[in-house]
Amino acid sequence: MTDAVRDVVVVGAGGMGRAWMDVVQARDGVRPSAVVDLDVSAARRAATERGWDVPVFSDVAAALREAPADLLLNVTVPEAHRAVSDAALRAGVPVLSEKPVTPTVADAMWLSALSVSRGVLLATSQSRRHSSGISAFRDAVRDLGGAGQLETQFFQNPRFGGFRDEMPSPLLVDMAIHQFDQARFLLGSEPVSVYCEEFSPSWSWYRGAAAAQAIFRFSDGSRFGYAGSWCADGLTTSWNGSWRASAPDGSATWDGETAVRVQGQDGPERDVPMGEGSEGLDAALTEFLTALDGGEAPSGEIRSNIWSLAMVEAAGESAATGSRVDLDAVFARAGAAALAEAQATGETAIIDQLREWAGGAPR
Ligand SMILES: NC(=O)c1ccc[n+]([C@@H]2O[C@H](COP(=O)([O-])OP(=O)(O)OC[C@H]3O[C@@H](n4cnc5c(N)ncnc54)[C@H](O)[C@@H]3O)[C@@H](O)[C@H]2O)c1
């Protein structure tokens, strides 16, 4: 890593923005240069609580004009993600965004084209793919010859109150992207199609459907089954879900926290030891800084992460139509929508980039 200290602009000073500020505070090589929130008093409070002597802004464009910025953390609400990331990319500032990178695949196609055409990095932090548990589980499954069948159960019962209780599809839209992204990480393959049903158990306290079951087919022929609920009292799983993989040389399970177990055809069941290293947000930031130093692209680089978002959109479409949905069709429609928008605004570089992808996923 470079010895230079990088200036970080944090945009969004809500619950997650504060968690990111603590990550910045705790590590060498980065320092805060500004905090931005529509509610500028929230930005000031969050900075003051951490003893940060930095300017605060209500507008990201003003912050980018006035404060030094080597990278921007986009921790705003999903609806603001595209506008905030767009402003930073146009200012030449790399962006590490909270999930979902944008609310729709069409918006993510647009940002992918902007990022690639400008040569400025945009990545999503999917914190749940960074843990010693999931790494140990992935390695165990690989050692067994790779999963042909992967299953997760996600059963939780949070009483959030607020927007999640009122929104349509709270589980699929706000939470399932974590397990979908984890499945991509574990299988090392990309999804091809999905059949999904979402529904409201009679006892659900959410306005929207808080339970879903989905079957994804992946390009290596494997299947990923997802069963989830956000209104499941009792015997809850971990927030990572509870996992099982079936592979040529045996099976592996992971409780989503620390216990990874494997068993071959004849051998005894055994526990797999966990590794060590940075996890969660800190690990996502490490990947991002490594890329800024000229290293490997982060695993959440937008052209890769867009597949996790497309899984959510395809699952939602399948639930709405009752049909199996191909990811190719999701990308074709999203690419056409992004292209139409670019043509309407006359953004030549974005038009050219989207045409190069020819209606498929960004490459
Ligand atoms: N990785 C995880 O496990 C995890 C957990 C929780 C939230 N998140 C994600 O983090 C993001 C933020 O969630 P949160 O719980 O902190 O939400 P929040 O509502 O607590 O905070 C969001 C903040 O963004 C500010 N904001 C909105 N639009 C803005 C704009 N245009 N410019 C500047 N500030 C703006 C709001 O005023 C608010 O203070 C979301 O994308 C959410 O999905 C991820």
The tens digit of pLDDT for each residue in 221-250 reads 999 999 999 999 999 999 999 999 999 999
Residue nearest to atom 20 of ligand 1 (CA): 14
Distance 202 CA to ligand 1 centre (A): 30
Q: What pLDDT score does 2 carry?
A: 62
* Residue 12 CB–ligand 1 contact under 6 Å: yes
For residues 123 and 169, membership in a common domain is answered with no
For residues 156 and 257, membership in a common domain is answered with yes
For residues 161 and 242, membership in a common domain is answered with yes
Which residue is it, tokens 């960004």? Answer: 362
Distance 78 CA to ligand 1 centre (A): 7
Strands 71-74 and 95-98: parallel
Closest among 261, 215, 209 to 230, alpha carbons compared: 209
Q: What pLDDT score does 17 carry?
A: 98
Atom of ligand 1 nearest to the CA of 97: 41
**How is residue 129 annotated by DSSP?**
G
pLDDT along the chain (363 residues), means of 10: 86 97 96 98 98 98 98 96 98 97 97 98 96 96 97 97 90 96 98 98 97 98 98 98 98 94 94 88 96 97 98 98 98 97 96 94 95
* Residue 158 CB–ligand 1 contact under 6 Å: no
CA dihedral over 140, 144, 147, 153, signed as positive or negative: negative
For residues 77 and 64, membership in a common domain is answered with yes
For residues 344 and 218, membership in a common domain is answered with no
Distance 158 CA to ligand 1 centre (A): 18
For residues 242 and 218, membership in a common domain is answered with yes
Choose the residue to mutate in 77, 82, 169 for probing ligand 1, maximizing ligand atoms within 8 Å of C-beta.
77
- What is the rounded distance in angstroms from the CA atom of residue 294 to the CA atom of residue 6? 14
- What is the rounded distance in angstroms from the CA atom of residue 344 to the CA atom of residue 155? 44
* Residue 325 CB–ligand 1 contact under 6 Å: no
Q: Where are the beta strands (DSSP E) in 181-220?
A: 191-199, 211-218
Residue 115 falls inside a structural domain: yes
- What is the rounded distance in angstroms from the CA atom of residue 314 to the CA atom of residue 6? 38
Q: What pLDDT score does 11 carry?
A: 98
For residues 111 and 89, membership in a common domain is answered with yes
Q: Which residue range is the domain that position 352 belongs to? A: 6-127+280-301+321-356
Residue 180 falls inside a structural domain: yes
- What is the rounded distance in angstroms from the CA atom of residue 165 to the CA atom of residue 274? 36
* Residue 38 CB–ligand 1 contact under 6 Å: yes
Residue 313 falls inside a structural domain: no
* Nearby residues of 152 by Cβ (< 8 Å), 6 or more positions away: 179, 182, 183, 224, 225, 226, 227, 228, 241, 242, 243, 244
Residue 52 falls inside a structural domain: yes
Distance 241 CA to ligand 1 centre (A): 23
Residue 314 falls inside a structural domain: no
User: What's the CATH number where 239 sits?
Assistant: 3.30.360.10
Residue 311 falls inside a structural domain: no
For residues 99 and 52, membership in a common domain is answered with yes
Strands 223-229 and 242-247: unpaired
* Residue 112 CB–ligand 1 contact under 6 Å: no
Q: Is the peptide bond before 100 cis (omega within 30 degrees of 0)?
A: yes
Q: What pLDDT score does 4 carry?
A: 86
Q: How buried is 41 (Cβ within 10 angstroms: 0-12 exposed, 13-18 middle, 19+ buried)?
A: exposed
For residues 78 and 153, membership in a common domain is answered with no
Total domains, the chain: 2
Residue 224 falls inside a structural domain: yes
Choose the residue to mutate in 10, 11, 16 for probing ligand 1, maximizing ligand atoms within 8 Å of C-beta.
16
Residue 307 falls inside a structural domain: no
Burial 172-209 (b: 16+ CB within 10 A, else e): bbbbbbbbbbbbbbbbebbbebbbbebeeeeebebebb
For residues 140 and 117, membership in a common domain is answered with no
For residues 19 and 68, membership in a common domain is answered with yes
